[in-house]
Amino acid sequence: MLEVEIALDHAGFKLDVRFTCGQGVSVLFGRSGAGKSTVLSCIAGLSRPDRGRIIVEDRVLFDSARSIEVPVHRRKIGYVFQDARLLPHLTVRQNLLYGYRLAEASERRIDLDVVVDLLDIAPLLGRRPAGLSGGERQRVAIGRALLSSPRLLLMDEPLAALDMGRRAQILRYIERLRDELHVPIVYVSHAIEEVARLADSLVLLDHGKVIASGAAGSILSQPKLRQYVGGEEAGALLEAKVSAHDEVYGLTTLTFAGGSLLASEVDALIGESVRVRIRARDVSLALSPPQDVSILNVLAGQVCSIQPEPGGAMDVSIAIGATVIYARITRLSTERLQLVAGKTVYALVKAVSLDRSSTGLA
């Protein structure tokens, strides 16, 4: 449990935030410059807020009113930086054990073997950081933070310096530690696909202020918040269950409240919960179920609202049973189809648009 209530004013940059996070992964989300990294830095103690309080698991780390400021090295907060920051003069093994050895034996909750297994870094142990790829470095950095047995793990855009392939790989490892080690994580990101895959709760930041915070799915689907969630990437986040795999065609059937979807093969077992992100621009609308089309997902629903989006197109929200998804279409199309609230439409979603980067274990 994390409780943050801090304010600071550094050379014109003002930050004034208040939020709480529970178990699981909490994502601090917002554009760059929104103050996400500064918040992390204050939680870790690397920056000092002008005033406020920071409490982690009932332990007060900072309280300006009571003049409490626990020094960084006593906070027991793991920090995974964007740039890994492995100690260059030590081997991978020595890096991993750096924090482990500094933690009191009674406080250690995890051992080297477990971390090495979890992150697949056994072959790297004897090497030095400069010889590692970006993805390898980031895995070692995550392992090193875990081995210091932190009460809270902070991750500051750990994927930012990696290419797409590596990102997917590291995301899987982060999902693993969320699910297998149950370390509470505060994760900073400005990439919606990371939010979709990882977030249990979401804190939306903009210009140093909290715009909204709460369960990830509910925040992402609030229309008035979607401007913060990013133009091209805006869309809906669905909780779904894997109900079948079609290995011949490489497709997975996902059931959600309101219907089912076919998606490009999802790497999860039948019965497992996943999150699916359906980007508004990947959804087309039709007034009748189309024949002879390649699109596999045709979902019947009712138009809830039609709103212009800043780029000039229209965002149409469609209720499909208990679930709302969004379609981004041109103004011309809304007029031709004579869309109004309450009208029945068919949302068309390509299965291939629901791929690895838009689904993740829930």
Partner 1 sequence: MGLTAEELDIVRLSLKISFWSVVSSLPFAIATAYLLDRAEFRGKSLVDALVHLPLVLPPVVVGYALLLAFGKQGPAGAFLEEIFGITFSFRWTGAALAAAVMGFPLMVRAIRLSFESIDRGLEAAAKTLGAGPIWLFFSVTLPLALPGVLTGVLLSFARGLGEFGATITFVSNIPGETRTIPLAIYGYTQVPGGDLMALRLSVVAVLLSLVALMASEWSVRRARRRVRGHDAGG
CB of 90 to partner 1, least distance (A): 8
Using the minimum distance from each CB to partner 1, give the nearer residue, 52 or 150.
150
Angle value at C-alpha 188, between 49 and 174, nearest 5 degrees: 135
Cα-to-chain-centroid distance, residue 3: 19
CB of 57 to partner 1, least distance (A): 17
139 belongs to the binding site for partner 1 (CB under 8 A): no
CB of 102 to partner 1, least distance (A): 4
* Rounded Cα–Cα distance for residues 334 and 57 (Å): 51
228 belongs to the binding site for partner 1 (CB under 8 A): no
Helices (H) and strands (E) in the chain, counts: 8, 21
- For residues 95 to 134, the per-residue mask of contacts with partner 1, x marking binding by CB under 8 A and - elsewhere, is ---xx--xx-----------------------xxxxx---
85 belongs to the binding site for partner 1 (CB under 8 A): yes
Closest-CA residue to 316 (of 353, 285, 349): 285
Q: Which residue in the set 38, 138, 148, 323 belongs to the binding site for partner 1 (CB under 8 A)?
A: 148
Q: Which residue in the set 28, 34, 44, 54 belongs to the binding site for partner 1 (CB under 8 A)?
A: 44
Q: Are 151 and 76 in contact (CB under 8 A)?
A: yes
93 belongs to the binding site for partner 1 (CB under 8 A): no
Q: Are 242 and 268 in contact (CB under 8 A)?
A: yes
78 belongs to the binding site for partner 1 (CB under 8 A): yes
Q: Are 285 and 316 in contact (CB under 8 A)?
A: yes
| DSSP-assigned letters across all residues of 180-246 | HT---EEEEES-HHHHHHH-SEEEEEETTEEEEEEEHHHHHT-GGGTTTS-TTT-EEEEEEEEEEEE
Q: Which residue in the set 3, 83, 267, 309 belongs to the binding site for partner 1 (CB under 8 A)?
A: 83
Determine the length of the chain: 362
Contacting range for partner 1; rule: CB under 8 A; set: 65-73, 191-199, 200-208, 294-302: 65-73
Using the minimum distance from each CB to partner 1, give the nearer residue, 145 or 171.
145
Contacting range for partner 1; rule: CB under 8 A; set: 4-12, 66-74, 162-170, 214-222: 66-74
184 belongs to the binding site for partner 1 (CB under 8 A): no
Contacts of residue 24, defined as CB under 8 A and 6 or more positions apart, other chains included, come to: 178, 184, 185, 200, 201
Structure tokens at 147: 């081995």
Contacting range for partner 1; rule: CB under 8 A; set: 15-23, 81-89, 115-123, 181-189: 81-89
77 belongs to the binding site for partner 1 (CB under 8 A): yes
Closest-CA residue to 98 (of 47, 154, 153, 149): 149
Using the minimum distance from each CB to partner 1, give the nearer residue, 161 or 337.
161
User: Which residues of this chain interact with partner 1, rule CB under 8 A?
Assistant: 44-46, 71-79, 81, 83, 85-89, 98-99, 102-103, 127-131, 144-145, 148
